Amino acid sequence: MQDSTPGRPPAAGGAAFARPATAADASRIAAIYNEGIEDRLATFETRLRSAAEVGAWLDGIHPVVVVEADGEVAAFAASSTYRPRECYAGVAEFSVYVARGVRGRGLGQVAMEGLIGAAEAAGFWKLVSRVFVENAPSRRLLTGLGFREIGVYRRHARLDGRWRDVVIVERLLGPATDDQPTDDQPTDDEAAASPSVAP
């Protein structure tokens, strides 16, 4: 997996690298996630998570990576089920969190590059998520890594009683990046034949 981007100050004077998370990382991942929950910048979640709950993310199907910087886990990126329908088995949700004290030093990028590589290797064809419209660091990180901003879900949920809008993001992986025709602009015949249930 990838080292941090040259030109940026590293987390604490050393190289940062991503690796697959193990059960032994669960409590550190929970601590980093809980900082993100407490900061109210990134997620609708307000309930802090335990190491046991984080351990359940390691399902052997959806990659989770951690970033080590100066001998300590300083960030993670995690994927999870997008929808239970079989047709969407290759689509994963993701999230990325950097420990509060070391944000803005390139570790989010290392984490996401690690997750993208791991998800591609595991056969996933798309990563999706939603980002608070105000979350400039996250939007910049993701668009810089090739994520496309699809649009805005308005008033998607309330955080501490206040409605929040979120930007939907996606990035194609592996086979989905092949240069082949898409159904972006369906023909009249295709439109007429479109199924009555949601795709």
Ligand X SMILES: CC(C)(COP(=O)(O)OP(=O)(O)OC[C@H]1O[C@@H](n2cnc3c(N)ncnc32)[C@H](O)[C@@H]1OP(=O)(O)O)[C@@H](O)C(=O)NCCC(=O)NCCS
Q: Among residues 90, 32, 35, which one has the least CA distance to residue 66?
A: 32
Applying the rule CB under 6 A, the residues between 143 and 162 that interact with ligand X are 144
Sign of CA dihedral 17, 18, 19, 25: positive
Q: Which CB sits closer to ligand X, 42 or 58? A: 42
Show the tokens assigned to 173: 């992986």
Contact 2, 16 (CB under 8 A): no
Find the shortest distance in angstroms from Cβ 117 to ligand X. 16
Applying CB under 6 A, does 42 fall inside the site for ligand X?
A: yes
Applying CB under 6 A, does 141 fall inside the site for ligand X?
A: yes
Q: Which of 10, 37, 79, 95 binds ligand X (CB under 6 A)?
A: 95
Q: Which CB sits closer to ligand X, 38 or 183? A: 38
For residue 123, the SS3 value is coil
Residue 94 to residue 63: CA distance in whole angstroms = 9
Positions touching ligand X (CB under 6 A) are: 36, 41-42, 95-98, 103-109, 129, 131, 135-138, 140-141, 144
